[in-house]
Structure 1
Amino acid sequence: MNQPASAYFIEDRHDPNETHTLAVLVQNEPGVLARVIGLFSGRGYNIESLTVSETEAQKHLSRITIVTTGTPMVIEQIKHQLDRMIPVYQVVDMTQTKRSIERELAMVKVRGQGEHRVEALRLADAFRARVIDATTESFVFEITGNTDKINQFIDLMRPLGLVEVSRTGVAAIGRGPEGM
């Protein structure tokens, strides 16, 4: 009995990697951040962006915002493993809620004179970046926005004399009256 040719091939479907922003509410105590980071490094998960700050001093709570990339199955594993950690109160996948606002701040240093200087200022104006330091040979711009906007601004500054970039990482918050 002949089998169809397709029966001889094992279907190899790889889920494409997705980028997700996770907000993690934790007890603000020594070692918590190290444990969260250890979860990622111990399993080979990548952290694209990481921000952390105390959000409720009265309750001693901090919010960790992590941008990570993985297949849908890996993202689910990360969320479940974070949820099981003892000092973690809540894990919210801000990407899945589709009701979140994400912003990042970057300081971008550009060296330039003449036409390059004029073009850098023109682009900064178009991207609503502010000049926060200026010398006769360079500028430092401050820009806020989503990660794509900042990446695009940096890419445009490269040929004009990009020297250095410092970024805060992503901060995210849900829309509407509800909190985490």
Structure 2
Amino acid sequence: MDAIPDWSTARDDAAADAAATALSARRTEAIAASFLWHRFSTVCAPAGGSGLVLSAILFRHTHVWGAVIDATRLADAARQRFHAMGLGLRASFVAGNPVDRVPAGFDAYLLELGDESAQALALLPALRRAIAPRGRLVLALGGGDDCPVPGASGCVAGTTLPDLARAGFAVERGFPVATGSCLLLARPA
């Protein structure tokens, strides 16, 4: 993997958030609805932007609590979203660089891969340090025609599977989500 990006300056504020929001908006409901989120009590979304996907998961699955870790500039938007959706204390925003600090103790960690896949994949070492032996990484992939895991279709992993293995994760299963997208469920290897 290349050098780890400086999260505070690696993304152009408005452009990066707009791109992430557009990507997420196309598949957010599908991710929240189609995956087995009921098996988790807590979900952490490092580099989760303004919390679009996490808030959809929490709204649909009322037993789940969650946190987004991302740049300080996104805190107000995330907190406004959480408040507008009535998520109360079940959703929080932690300002910081997720490359440096991902809190331990969550059941699942959600990582979306889109236009900034290289930056997202740079988070894998921090996620591996944070994740407990029974924790899971949920990787949202989009684009292409083939899912890298049998039983799921509609996503391209490119170098994702080797990156996961190098970071100490083993893919358990793939879940088709929407046209051109799938979720990979990985565990600590």
Please report the TM-score for the alignment, with normalisation by the length of structure 2: 0.28
Report the structure, 1 or 2, having the larger strand content: 1
The two structures have a TM-score, normalised by structure 1, of 0.29
